[in-house]
Structure formats: C-alpha cells, structure tokens
Amino acid sequence: MFISLSLYWPITVGYLLSGAASAMAQKSVTIQNDDPLVYFHGRWDSSPGTWWGGSGFKLNVKNLESLTLNLGPHTTAPLTSVGVSLDYDEFITANISQGSNVIPIPVSFKTDSEKKTTVVRVNVEGWQNNRMNLESITLNQGALLVPYIPSELAFQFIGDSLSAGQFLPQGVDQAWPFLIGEAFKAEHIVIAQPGAALSDIVSFGNEHGVSYQFFRTEDTGYFDTTDHNFTTPWNFARDRPAATHVVIHIGANDAAQNVTDVEFVQVYTDFVTRLRTIYRHQPIFVFTPWGWPNPDGTFGQYFEGQYQKIVDLRHANGDENVFLVNTTGWVSYADVFPENQHPTVLGHERIASKFQTWLENWGLKPESRWTNL
C-alpha cells in the first residue's frame, strides 16, 4: 500500500533546518558518498547516480536519530520517489529532490541502549524518473556508521514491465522480484525495463533491448537524460555479493515487435551464453509467460513452447543448471489491471507466493534471519 511519509512519520521529507536545528546540524556527522561503509546496490554511475528501478544503498548505523540525504543536480526534477525501510520493516515512500532531504526516523526505530544498530535501506522505486544523485549523508551527532553485512543469498532478476513494477503505486518495491528477495531475506537486484524487448531492437521508446542494456550501467532511459546520453559498460565486480541465483522473465515485447520464434530462441540462448561468462555456475531460472488474461478466462500467449527449447538447448550443451519455471495458471484476469493486463499489487503478491513455493520445492530455503539483526 502507498503511504505518504508525511502521514506515516511525523516529519516532512525536505524539511529545511533553521535556527536551533541549524546549530545542532553543525555538530552532525557527514558521510561522503565515497565512504566504503555506504553499501551501494544496483547500478550507479560515477556521479554517483542511480539507474534502473530498485538501485540504492544500505547503511548500518549505531545511535541513529536523524538522517538527511544531500542530493546533487543529476537527481530527477522536480522529484524522485524512493522506498525507505528501517530494520527490514516495510518500505515507505519518500519523495526527494536536489538539495537536503530529511528522512524521518520514528521514535520506535531510534537506537536505544539495548539496540546495537539500525539498518537503513533506500532505493529508487520507479522505472523512469529514478535518478538519485547522492552527494553525502548527514547523521545526528554521536551516530556511527558500521559495516553492513550482506546476505549470502543474492538474486539477479532480469525482465521487462512485468518485473519492473510498472503501474504499481510503489513501483519495483511492490513487484514480484522484489517481494521474492524480501521473502528469502536476500540481496536482490532487478534489471527490468518496461517496453524493452530482449532482442536488441527499438521497442516502445527503448533504443536498445535488454540483451544489450543489461551489460550497461544506464537503463534504457539514458537516451533522454540531460547529463549524458551514452551508455557505460557495467563492472559486474561491483555487484556485492555476486548473484547466487539468476531469474529471467522476458519476451512479451519481442512478440509485440514480431520477432519470430526462431529469432527469439537464438537471441535468448545467445544471451544466456553471455550471462555464463559472468554467472558461471549459478542456477538460471527461465520463466515461461503467464500470458495476457482475458475476461472470458482465455489467455493471449506468445512464444509457446520456445522457452522449453531454450532450456533444452542449454542442457544439450552441457549446462544442466538452467531450469524452466512454468508459470501457467499463476495469473488470472482478477490479478491484472483490465486496461493493460499487467499484474496489480495483489497480482504481484500472488506471483511471488507461487514462485516462492516453486523455489522451496526446488530446494532453496529462505535465510533464517536478516544478517544485520
């Protein structure tokens, strides 16, 4: 559910310090954006600025009482929406912009003498208008940044609008990949772009397909940005930790652009072959489409039987660690927005529940606890 911070927490984001508050700020702790204890996740450029929905950072803080994000000119104007979670609680939306943005810390989350640290997680929600240009972080006097210890379980999700959370109030934070990461108490990165095909073709405003863009820092919105309109190769060594499991759900936009079955199988197998240069031994899960549900109970399908061929080809080449996830029946017309057939919030929750069951039956169990608690 979307909840405004100004309603849920007692201080408004973007509240400017003045008077006595300014005097207190002079005694505050400033964390620069190159501090090694700031745990970045997702895709960030050198400014540093976010690309792709779900990119952000994590902090582990002793004696946390206040938090301010100081953002630079590459931040989306007039604002970008981020999800904020404290101690692995639900993500609450904050609208932030260039300048100083106070992130309210409810009294119930403030560190007391019996509580060691507070974990802060911040990520951009949107698949567009999602640039957060982090210059520094201001904490209260006496706060101390300590190492964030990542989970040993890490998901890499790859997809399109059906994974990016398009049309959801909180974007990717309510999408099934994000929910799976949370359910398994794992690190998770979602590289998904609405409208993009897997094939490297122009599709619904995307200049490139995911088979190209996945290997770049910037998402496909790079073409319309004011600070630059080029792409930068992504250094996968920056993914901390490296993904332990890779999940792919893509193909709807290839079908919409009339990519043939033969062409799709070829581009998909080539893509997995290239993924294997990065994820050499990790399980790769290939989703079949759940289709486009219709009111009469029928489904619009695409590339029927082709995903099985892709998996079979990998097996024939000796790669037995690629698995087909048959999503038939996972989504009904009641689970989608009638106007666009994309899953609703409840629809994404149902998909996440189905996939969690599938993964547990496959043999993957959620972590017993969050690492830093």
Length of the chain counted residue by residue: 373
Q: Are 218 and 231 in contact (CB under 8 A)?
A: yes
Share of the chain above pLDDT 70, in %: 91
Looking at residue 355, what is its pLDDT? 99
Alpha helices in 241-292 (DSSP H): 252-256, 261-275
- 264-276 pLDDT tens trace: 999 999 999 999 9
> How many Cβ atoms sit within 10 Å of the Cβ of residue 72?
17
Q: Residue 25 in contact with residue 66, Cβ under 8 Å?
A: no
Using pLDDT thresholds of 50, 70 and 90, give the confidence band for residue 227.
confident
Kindly report the CA angle at 272 between 267 and 278, in degrees rounded to 5? 135
Cα dist from 242 to 104, 154, 270, whole Å: 32, 7, 21
Q: What percent of the chain has pLDDT over 90?
A: 87
Average pLDDT over residues 108-125: 82
Q: DSSP per residue over 26-79, as a string?
A: TTSEEEETT-TTSEEEEEE-SS-BEEEEEEEEEEEEET---EEEEE-TTS-SS-
Q: How confident is the model at residue 12 (pLDDT cuts 50, 70, 90)?
A: very low
Domains of the chain by start residue, with CATH: 5-146 (2.60.120.260), 154-362 (3.40.50.1110)
For 245-259, the pLDDT digits (tens) are 999 999 999 999 999
Question: How far apart (Å, rounded) are the C-alpha atoms in residues 52 and 44?
Answer: 9
β-pair type (292-293, 299-300): antiparallel
| pLDDT tier at 26, thresholds 50, 70, 90 | low
Compare 344 and 27 and report the one with higher pLDDT: 344
- Whether 360 shows a pLDDT value over 50: the answer reads yes
In the predicted model, is pLDDT for residue 2 greater than 50?
A: no
